[in-house]
Amino acid sequence: MAVSAAVAVLGTLIGLYVSLWAKNFPRTVAALAAPPTGGANLTLETVAAVGKKLSPQHPEWVSYLVKSNGRWIRSTVFKVPAYSVVHVTLYQFDTPTGLRNPFLSQVQGTVGGTATLDGKAFRSIEPEEASHTFAVPELGVFVPLAGVPEEAKNQCEEGPCELTSAHRTITFSFRTGARGRYRWQCFVPCAAGWLLGNGGPMQTLGYMDGFIDVV
Ligand SMILES: [Cu+2]
């Protein structure tokens, strides 16, 4: 009887894992066409706490959001065209956590090998200033995102954040290649309260990592 009970409990747990977590996939958001270049525009933001509206289960989790039809959506699955240039504008509302690996504080794999931070071109930042990274390892794209200073006034407490709150603006472009699904992720251990900062939102699709569907 004890064995049957244990098997039943385990079966229920596996069922819950599949139904509540493994099948939980954010909806895909298409990047907007950028007609003169034949590419696409992707507008993202990072928030220190995603908020109840966008994540009732985990309102305090750190997250990326994407702009779709004028609204901020919690999704990390983006659709972009193949063999084109994707122009990314990223509003960063979170404060620094710092990178463990300084190699990732360099801009790599973008068009021209650079990005802009608040309107100024840059090729690297101080590793401890990083709040998040936008990285697509299979495409060689790594962009470190400098955080809002800890002492900044008017910080956004929970997402979705608007541009009236303290933020940094990062822009960069990268080229896509063949069709396929490419993983992207943050490499800053930004999951506060988790072991080594790498649990929770760093491991759950829809917060600090996702996919780029090149179609
Ligand atoms: Cu992050």
CATH number reported for the structural domain that contains residue 210 in this entry: 2.60.40
152 pLDDT above the threshold of 90: yes
> Is 10 contained in some domain?
no
> Is 35 contained in some domain?
yes
Give 112-125 pLDDT, tens digit per residue.
999 999 999 999 99
Residue 122's DSSP bridge partners are 115
Ligand 1 midpoint to CA 187 (Å):
6
Give 9-47 pLDDT, tens digit per residue.
999 998 887 777 676 778 888 888 877 667 899 999 999
Range among 27-31, 184-188, 193-197 with highest mean pLDDT value? 184-188
Ligand 1 midpoint to CA 11 (Å):
34
Ligand 1 midpoint to CA 180 (Å):
24
> Is 12 contained in some domain?
no
> Is 38 contained in some domain?
yes
Ligand 1 midpoint to CA 2 (Å):
44
What is the model's pLDDT at position 114? 96
How far apart (Å, rounded) are the C-alpha atoms in residues 145 and 186? 10
Ligand 1 midpoint to CA 198 (Å):
9
Ligand 1 (ion): which residues have CB within 5 A? 132, 186, 188, 190, 208
Length of the chain: 215
Q: What percent of the chain has pLDDT over 70?
A: 97
* Domain encompassing residue 126: 28-214
Ligand 1 midpoint to CA 122 (Å):
20
Domain count, the chain: 1
> Is 131 contained in some domain?
yes
> Is 2 contained in some domain?
no
Ligand 1 midpoint to CA 8 (Å):
38
Ligand 1 midpoint to CA 108 (Å):
18
> Is 167 contained in some domain?
yes
What is the model's pLDDT at position 37? 67
Give 34-92 pLDDT, tens digit per residue.
776 678 999 999 999 999 999 999 999 999 999 999 999 999 999 999 999 999 999 99
Question: Do the strands 63-68 and 39-47 form a parallel or antiparallel pair, or are they unpaired?
Answer: antiparallel
Question: Mapping DSSP to helix (H, G, I), strand (E, B) and coil, where does residue 187 land?
Answer: coil
- Record the tokens describing residue 215, joined without a space: 């179609």
Mean pLDDT, rounded, for 204-213:
95
How far apart (Å, rounded) are the C-alpha atoms in residues 116 and 94? 17
Ligand 1 midpoint to CA 201 (Å):
8
How far apart (Å, rounded) are the C-alpha atoms in residues 125 and 98? 10
What's the whole-number average pLDDT of the chain?
93
What is the model's pLDDT at position 50? 96
Ligand 1 midpoint to CA 1 (Å):
47
Give 130-150 pLDDT, tens digit per residue.
999 999 999 999 999 999 999
> Is 205 contained in some domain?
yes
